[in-house]
Structure 1
């Protein structure tokens, strides 16, 4: 992408909204179809790209997406994060600690309108997923979240904070088989 066009809506209005939420009984998830219509209706005449991040819980997925959002809001300049900046954009909620924060799948309510090197506009959305392997989510639900985010994404980032271990690759293989 070579440059950024204005967001659809103002930067102050961009926020993460759930598109897959936990059912009220806490067992399984349900899609929020009306949000899809509201979000994607505005960009129906443009190609859409979704950048998603998935991985174990409490490893910085939401924070990383906020850095990416900050970069996109600052027109991808070489000074996109200045010395003294203490916080990136706060599009996706995050907090420290050991308890999960994101539940289900969240996506930006407005796209970042980028321009390709051949001057075509693309609507880019950022998508956050619930962290996997927490104490409250079943392996089936983790697989469902990963599979849906993979199917919806143009780019899927699998976030690990340390070296890749054999069990990480085995879990990744199980999730991708489930997605197929």
Structure 2
């Protein structure tokens, strides 16, 4: 297990050894990854799962947090889903980049209840590890290039510590330049 410079005050353990800190689809998908032993997990207070509160409480840099957003769009009556991984300091470009990638007229964030039901993960903890088969995972180039990241674990009570390269190597992952725009 590597030493995570972004961990702040977190107690990081091997995610492969702590399935109890992961949503079921995340634990299953993680077990199938070739470098699962190098993925870290840390238990957190579920009330502090939202990015800004988490970073403040655990002394973890906001610049090392990446968020997973579920996006939906319709084409010919068919709903198309994707997950977008963007740095917490940015916002996914849903109306241009993601809309074009999904080949839909209009794309928007999937409703919370729908995202939770389809992913079998908790809102505020949705992660690209263990998403439904066939969903594209759109990874902003800045995320793919990050040496260390903190992301959701499928539940609000923990966080995963991964590298951008690990996210870029997930089944269905596509690296997209300018997937995200700076906040502000």
TM over 0.5: no
Q: For CA contacts below 8 A with separation 6 or more, give which structure has more relative contact order.
A: 1
The TM-score range, normalised by the shorter chain, is: under 0.3
TM-score (norm 2): 0.26
Structure with the larger strand share: 2
Structure of higher CA gyration radius: 1
TM-score (norm 1): 0.27
